Amino acid sequence: MTHYLIGLVGSGIGPSLSPALHEREAAELGLRYTYRLLDLDDLRRPVGDVLAAAREQGFHGLNVTHPGKQAVLPHLDELVPEAAALGAVNTVVFENGRAVGHNTDATGFARSLGRGLPGVRLDEVVLLGAGGAGAAVGHALLSLGTGRLAVHDVDPGRAERLVESLQRRFGAGRAVRCGPEAVRTADGLVHATPTGMAAHPGLPIDESLLREELWVADIVYRPLETALLAAARARGCRVLHGGGMVVLQAAESLRLFTGVEPDAGRMLAHFEELEGEPAHAS
């Protein structure tokens, strides 16, 4: 029986639930499966070197998180069309000596939003963060029918590159650059930067911009209740934490690594067992 060796590459990943989620579901499926954390802060090596070492050591695949989802691209042999369109990779599968890049973030976010905030207005949504996770979320939102996506990033050039990519795929006018003040008139706000994570505490925008009519989704899941979600909840906003996204993208990654279909419902239940609240609490 194949013994799958999988890793997570990123910075500050000690609190990650990925090992528990993957290994528990793999055991339920009767698979031999080991999931290791490869923290760039501890290894003090760039993501390309870590990927090369994992390939040499016989890993079957890697998940990639901040800050490697775009930095890993030059080190891959192939991108599947969806990952190429997004310009970001969160899953690398080693196949016949080749490193193939995939992205399961977009589908994970779309499915989580549909489960956790059904029926929310999508006429105008503000996206904070144009990095690898932001790119996936942006494509997901426009695929779900968002009328106009307004993108803000502390790096204006990065925001512009994402807007141009989204316009090429979805049409001119569907995506624009914006400042934080666009939140004042938007239907929804999605936060896709590391701010709010345990290692990066704080608020990504001025909380005075939040109002009751706004829905707010955060892709951060450690902690589940980020400062942004706490502030939004206090103002009466409907909110969605990042738990559902992390579980549903993990399920798709596990399928890519093994070729075996996981039980996403069982993984969502396992998340609730681990965290003490549902993956789609809102």
Q: Which residues are catalytic?
A: 69
Contact 272, 124 (CB under 8 A): no
Largest CA-CA distance found in the chain, in angstroms, rounded: 56
Cα angle: 163, vertex 215, 275; to 5 degrees: 105
Contact 73, 98 (CB under 8 A): no
> In this structure, what are the phi and psi dihedrals at residue 259, rounded to the nearest 5 degrees?
80, 5
33 vs 23: CA distance, rounded Å: 6
Burial of 140 (0-12, 13-18, 19+ CB in 10 A): buried
DSSP 8-68: EEESS-TT-SHHHHHHHHHHHTT-EEEEEEEEHHHHT--HHHHHHHHHHTT-SEEEE-TT-
